[in-house]
Amino acid sequence: MGSVELLKLLVIGLYLAGTILSLSGILVARKSLRSVGMACAVAGFALHTFDMGLVTSQPGNSLTAGAFYYSLFSWLLLLIWFLAWWRLKLGFLALTISPLALLFYISSLRLAPMHVTTPPTLLGLFFGLHIGALFLALALLAVSFGAGLAFLHLERKIKTKEPLTGFRKDLPSLSTFDRAVHWAVAAGFPLYTVGLLSGFFWAKLTWGKVFSWDIKELTSITIWFLYASLFYQRMVTGRQGRRTAILAIWVFALAMLSMLGINLLTPSHHSFTAVPL
């Protein structure tokens, strides 16, 4: 086993330990377990950052490899989680984001070495505006997803007047969850819009046409309209609470279906399982 393989196994081990300990700490209301879980996640994130640095420093087309996309998304999920935990004290997001980050990192190691066709002169633009903006938007959607689930769960407990036992006693208020959804949508939708538009611009320069009726493109546009509706309700009409929480959950679910289903299972120029170059 080489040093690179060992590094990747260490990342998986730390992410797995962080996920298990964080979930256990939340479910049994043990702050010490949550703290150790967070420490494992931070250590895994540091090694993951080093791993991505090694990949990007390699000559060739490492930045266009499909496996790198999933690794990058896993890294961004953790980054957004840490920011949410630091700014909003939303440690409960470990219930959703930590397992997702682990899933996408493991998926990145299982992908075929497929490369996306990108002119070298556009690679920086492609990553900065398309991949970077989209993945940040989707990582923020993960925040709204977790906050939306927690909001619905706590709201149901309150409405049915059930006692808040176990980990529920330590949950933040409904307003905190609602604020997290608002924060994630306010930052995420503009990023998603930039990412989508830059993707069409890149398609025009690469394939000579803006739109090709690819299933990934159709799904991305559908997600944009749903995301736009969520953004409009939160930012323009001021709608809060249950309805926007449910919509945030559906938008994120569709986005994950696109990333884990369409990119892996459908034969198109967005596929991550195509024949290597």
Is residue 270 within 8 A of residue 207, CB to CB? The reply is: no
Look at the block and give the residue holding tokens 């709204």: 144
Is residue 73 within 8 A of residue 65, CB to CB? The reply is: no
Write out pLDDT tens, residues 155-164.
Answer: 887 887 777 6
Is residue 207 within 8 A of residue 119, CB to CB? The reply is: no
Alpha carbon distances (Å) from 251 to 43, 74, 248, 256, 258: 31, 19, 5, 9, 11
Q: Per-residue confidence of the chain (277 residues) as pLDDT tens digits?
A: 577 778 888 999 999 998 888 888 877 777 788 888 888 989 999 999 998 888 777 665 555 556 777 888 889 888 988 887 777 777 777 778 888 888 888 887 776 455 555 555 455 566 667 778 888 898 999 888 988 888 888 888 788 777 766 666 667 778 888 888 888 899 999 999 988 888 777 766 666 666 666 777 788 889 999 999 999 998 888 888 889 999 999 999 998 888 776 666 665 555 555 433 3
Alpha carbon distances (Å) from 166 to 18, 31, 148, 159, 219: 21, 13, 20, 18, 40
* Crossing angle between the packed helical segments 97-110 and 3-27, to the nearest 10 degrees: 160
Tell me the residue type at 250. Answer: W
Length of the chain: 277
pTM for the whole structure? 0.80
Element (H or E) spanning 253, and its range? helix 242-257
- Dist. CA 67–CA 52, nearest whole Å: 11
Share of the chain above pLDDT 90, in %: 14
- Dist. CA 45–CA 50, nearest whole Å: 9
Is residue 98 within 8 A of residue 19, CB to CB? The reply is: yes
Taking every pair of Cα atoms in the chain, the longest distance, rounded to a whole number of angstroms, is: 61
Write out pLDDT tens, residues 101-128.
Answer: 888 888 877 764 555 555 554 555 666 6
3-state helix/strand/coil string of 78-121: HHHHHHHHHHHCCHHHHHCHHHHHHHHHHHHHHCCCCECCCCHH
Write out pLDDT tens, residues 23-39.
Answer: 888 777 777 888 888 88
Tell me the residue type at 226. Answer: L
